Structure 1
């Protein structure tokens, strides 16, 4: 993958501002009716009508600059200042300062009634962005309870999640909200540039002084550019348009998501045509690997759903929904309304009355649901060999295991049957099958994606995960799913997640630190895996990464807890003790053996509390390992699995093989890490050429950093 070209605003003050479009956000600050409507606050400030016209001067040019930012591929973010209707988030200091100032206060105060609604109150028409700058479906809106954009918002986490390092700021008003955001962004490590031709305020002298302060003292706070160079970049863009031959290639291989959207925009294909092709490809692959699916959308209904998207779907430039027309499937322990959820266990099966919220987000973003995929029964296993619906083999070898428990997900993506798939991960059930099929498997931080509508395997550890063909495609899907769900008891409020200082150079230029397991752990891998892992470590170092010695003990202890202690008994509680005892004779033989062992175990209550205490000790130790302010590492890098078994090897000794496979995946969920498995090489096994995967692990909530670093490795791997 070629590195991205950087752009430079050479006439910026105090010197040139250089940025990469993919890591830069174009921020439109507070361009709301409250401030820019003729009946809003701005037209009445200080009861001086002469103030308002200069403020409106940026309304005509800003849409053109916004169009350029979109064409360049910058992330677009809007902010809106406003408060709850009951003003519970309005600081008393601000309320009293505005209403009880010695001069008599402002002519319009927060929550005052205006023709457009209560001033600066969320939900009012006046709180909306002006029509000339209406956001597109893919663009973010950050509501802020104050002048700055970072306090009390999810902005910093959204920027970190997207790997953003540079901010180009526009909007109103310069002397207050625009420069407040710049100050806060500067403190967090972002390189910030204000486009002076796209910002203004209610006092022209203060506007000029504010901009001078930004770039003074050799850019103490940031940069200022008029914006003409930025605008010129948009005029120079010459995109290569897809051709009819590109469209015909869809018949041979499923294009990348970006290529597919370009084909849609060009009108060379539509979702209905794509769905016909997808269904045909699935039917043909059934003859090769018949155990990938448990159920599929009725072909007529699937085509009808695609046709609905095709009808009247025209989009200017990039304005289409983020996942428009992208086919996907889900593991059959995740609910889709009206579809039977089996968890690969007929006695457990039920018809879902609602779609899991995280899946609904994907549908709302334009993705097309195709069907339900096979899994190890009740999501119990890492091999893919425990389903009464058959054993899917690895996409790369009919003799080798697909990995589990999200077996069908990995095979479907690797085979190009769908663009992405959603599975679940409790002990490695996304990462292992991704590695065994040569694709990307991303397990986000527990509690950041809603787990409602998922059949629990071990509820305190379960999380949905994403299978995709690249880190970038997994990331695009994650953006859509990463939404707080207050009804999920294990959800983490965004403000509770950690943030970190930005290195504007990014990990590719600025470098990063990583740790690896000790030799004693790596030596448990096959000889070929040991060699490929050594090569992967060298590749990371060639990317500018620094290898740091770490204490691996808490990771190993956490891995032992998941099945070697009382924590495994949560599976009985999650699935249902009564269900297991009443139906144990109907379970898959290996699943039956697992639960018989749990039911016969003599467990005392004190052992549960002992193991919970050990878990918390491991979490504390691991948190310190990733604490950058205390010399910690950015990521831990491990082989995803120690070896790749054949299906026969699994069948010969299912429990032992399964236990060995989790050597490097078991710790992550116990100590609340996020992780992503990426392909790192190939192993020749007789006639088969099998993929080898490594997993990057990062601290809870550090998903953005994790994906940034994994993408660096992916690019270096070609």
Structure 2
């Protein structure tokens, strides 16, 4: 009835075939009870309440509910009305009067909360073993950590208990556990998703994340959660930023590679680089050193004082209720001064300026999610040293305001998985999706604990409302001289296409760079073109700058659609060469130097 790993597509197909949300809640209850690792959930939603919510949804019906009957879990530092919020510290527990904004938005879309999941206490850790409720384990080997701090959330998805889960990410907590459990972790740009109703770790850089089997599923949940919230002082809105159609991807140089002796993870990182290149990316080694220095500020600099600010009163009154390692980390902030905080801000901004040329040259970075893993026993023997290894390539992202998507990268001979991340400048969240999904698809490493599950093909680009589709036939094609006029304002490549078989193409004279002219004619053929999308304001500026004899009109595609595209005035064709027989500007250019 339902597959081993619950994806949105599989659930929707099951409902279309006659299954119901009540059937799925019965299956969720069965899987939750049967899973041997009892450290995954802190507070499961009682069985009768799950069934009651399913029945209420069925009475209402799926119309207008994009996540109708989809089960999800919530990290226990995020408020869910009716369930205590504990942050994995029982003495800290409180009963929230309302859902966190992100939970409210998901429930309003028809999703069903199945429980609150375990975490490194107060979201302080990347390993998942700093909790009085026990350490959730890797779904592939119970001797190994699951990753943290969103440990229970990752295991719940990878075990097939729910379709997606919410985590949080300050230093990598929504990405490292994804890598250790063969699932996807989507970390939005800080401020894109509201933090209202979330127990803060470092309030200025915390991000609510989504863990899911696929990039598409995690992204769908993220899009429902995102949007400005005046109750969150760090909430932001901005226009999305695009990538080049053949993106330039930064990879680690030999001097900045550190895998702590884990040859399996290094080999899987190299394989992911090769996949990115096969997918059309240009691979560019870059200097990670300034990013690494920024990463060190999160724990070695004054930002650790934010962790103290979040729980100072409780720490003063209840020091014995803290996990010893968590307490030691947070108490390390005592004595930090405002002077140190300002100096830290100064240094971070200096580093942002230092890496600005990297972002000018590159679209995204491809990094190991974690350079290694560890057994629970090794982590408990050296809780700070082992944990610090996990954050080597994650800690900088929120301080730098980046978007990131972590995807599975395959398995080593040990049977343990590893992952890689795409990390890019703010508000590239949607732009990263196609490449991240393609990297996961090409890795062919399954979904969660089901290593044989088929990975969906990458989804088409997501276009914000109001964006305008444009057909280009010449100098604006990918790799052509004027393509930057599309990519620089955030244009998104959609696909290759063809006109209806009633157009002619001409090589115009006296144009620099060389340009073709497309006209509609009584006799002609289908002409190759590309479809792009632009924001409305960028489209207006683009059209206003087009020189005569070219202009924008309506072009009929071979599938019957009408789109805006380049057409030419007839008088400009007097001395032009008819190149219709080539079928397109790119074919013509292969025989001529344009």
Give the alignment's TM-score, normalised by structure 1: 0.60
Aligned twin of 2:106: 362
Contact 2:140–2:416 (8 Å) recurs in 1:
yes
| Conserved? CA contact 1:275–1:306, under 8 Å | yes
2:314 is the alignment partner of 1:579: yes
Match of 2:241?
A: 499
Counterparts of 1:629-648 in structure 2 under 5 Å? 632-648=361-377
Give the C-alpha shift of residue 714 in structure 1.
1.8
1:293-312 aligned at under 5 Å gives the runs 293-311=41-59
Would the aligned equivalents of 1:323 and 1:367 in 2 still touch at CA under 8 Å? yes
Q: How many angstroms does 1:519 deviate by? A: 1.6
1:664 corresponds to: 393
Matched, 1:269 2:4: no
Secondary structure in 2 matching 1:684: coil
| SS in structure 2 of the partner of residue 259 of structure 1 | helix
SS in 2 for 1:416: coil
In 2: Cα distance, 1:604 partner to 1:392 partner: 37
Supply the RMSD in Å over aligned alpha carbons. 1.6
User: SS where residue 445 of structure 1 aligns?
Assistant: coil
Write the deviation string for residues 144-187 of structure 1: whole angstroms up to 9, x where unpaired. Answer: xxxxxxxxxxxxxxxxxxxxxxxxxxxxxxxxxxxxxxxxxxxx
Distance 2:218 2:309 in 1: 32
CA shift at 1:698, angstroms?
A: 0.8
State the shift of 1:563 in Å: 0.8
| Structure with a larger share of its residues in helix | 1
* Correspondence for 1:590: 325
CA deviations on 1:211-234 (whole Å, 9 max, x unpaired) are xxxxxxxxxxxxxxxxxxxxxxxx
Residues 272/623 of structure 1: CA separation in 2 closer, same or farther (3 Å cut): farther
| Structure 1 contact 327–370 (Cα < 8 Å) conserved | yes
Q: Quote the residue 1:622 is aligned against.
A: 355
Aligned partners of 1:312 and 1:347: how far apart in 2? 39
Per-residue CA deviations over 1:260-293 (Å, capped at 9, x if unaligned) read 1122233x111011101110110000xx111000
CA distance in 2 between counterparts of 1:368 and 1:396 reads: 27
3-state SS of 1:311 partner: helix
Moved more, 408-417 or 484-493: 484-493
Of 662, 686, 704 in structure 1, the residue corresponding to residue 430 of structure 2 is 704
Match of 1:280? 30
Identify the match of residue 74 of structure 2 among 330, 349, 352.
330
CA deviation string 1:236-257 (max 9, x = no partner): xxxxxxxxxxxx3x2x624421
After TM superposition, give the deviation of residue 587 of structure 1 in Å.
1.0
In the alignment, the residues of structure 1 paired with residue 216 and residue 343 of structure 2 have an alpha-carbon distance, to the nearest angstrom, of 41
**Distance in 2 separating the partners of 1:438 and 1:386:** 22
Secondary structure of the residue aligned to 2:73 is strand
Q: Map of 1:4-403 to 2, 5 A cutoff? A: 248=1, 250=2, 253-266=4-17, 268-285=18-35, 288-311=36-59, 313=61, 321-403=65-147
Picking from 523, 527, 550, the partner of 2:258 is: 523
DSSP-derived class of the 2:413 partner: strand
Q: Is the 8 A contact 1:329 1:373 kept in 2?
A: yes
Q: CA deviation at 1:516?
A: 1.4
Give the match's secondary structure for 1:705.
Answer: coil
Contact 1:409 1:422 in 2 (8 A): yes
Are the structure 2 counterparts of residues 524 and 715 from structure 1 closer, same or farther at C-alpha, using a change threshold of 3 Å? closer
Off by >4 Å, runs of 4+ in structure 1? none
Unaligned segments of structure 2, at least 5 residues: 445-594
Match of residue 145 from structure 1 = none
Match of 2:528 in 1: none
Alpha-carbon shift at residue 623 of structure 1 (Å): 4.1
> Structure 1 residue 604: deviation in Å?
3.5
Q: Is the 8 A contact 1:623 1:699 kept in 2?
A: no
Contact 2:180–2:418 (Cα < 8 Å) also in 1: yes
Shift of 1:579: 1.5
Q: For each residue in 1:512-567, what CA deviation from the matched residue of structure 2 results, as whole angstroms up to 9, or x when unmatched?
A: 11001222232334122112111111111111110123232321111111111111
Distance verdict in 2 for CA 1:540–1:499, change over 3 Å? closer
1:545 aligns with 2:281: yes
Looking at structure 2, the residues matched to 564 and 644 of structure 1 have their Cα atoms a distance apart, in angstroms, of 22
CA distance in 2, matches of 1:535, 1:550: 18
Structure 1 residue 467 corresponds to structure 2 residue 211: yes
Residue 483 and residue 346 in structure 1: after superposition, are their counterparts in 2 closer, same or farther (change >3 A)? same
**Pairwise CA distance, 1:454:** 0.1
CA distance in 1, matches of 2:192, 2:48: 35
Whole-angstrom CA distance in 2 between matches of 1:293 and 1:378 = 15
In the alignment, is the contact (CA less than 8 A) between 1:619 and 1:672 conserved in 2?
no
Alignment partners' CA distance in 1, 2:125 and 2:5: 30
Residue in 2 that maps onto 1:653: 382
TM-score (norm 2): 0.72
1:13 is matched with: none
* TM-superposed deviation, 1:311: 2.2
Which runs of no fewer than 5 residues in structure 1 stay unpaired? Answer: 1-247, 504-509
Deviates more, 1:671-680 or 1:526-535: 526-535
Q: Which residues of 2 match residues 398-413 of structure 1 at below 5 A?
A: 398-413=142-157
Query: SS of the residue aligned with 2:193?
Result: coil
Q: Helix, strand or coil: the match of 2:144?
A: strand
Summarize the Cα distance change of 1:548–1:254 in structure 2 as closer, same or farther, 3 Å threshold: closer
Within 2, Cα distance between the matches of 1:296 and 1:375? Answer: 14
Q: Distance in 1 between matches of 2:356 and 2:224?
A: 27
> Does the 8 A contact of 2:259 with 2:265 survive in 1?
no
SS of structure 2 residue aligned to 1:398? coil
Higher Rg of the two aligned structures: 1
Match of 1:683 among 402, 412, 430: 412
Contact map agreement 2:305 2:336 (CA 8 A) in 1: no
CA distance in 2, matches of 1:560, 1:256: 36
Question: Which is worse superposed, 515-524 or 642-651?
Answer: 515-524
Native 8 Å contact 1:345 1:388 kept in 2: yes
**Alpha-carbon distance in structure 2 between the residues aligned to 1:622 and 1:303:** 52
Moved more, 375-384 or 514-523: 514-523
Native 8 Å contact 2:168 2:209 kept in 1? yes
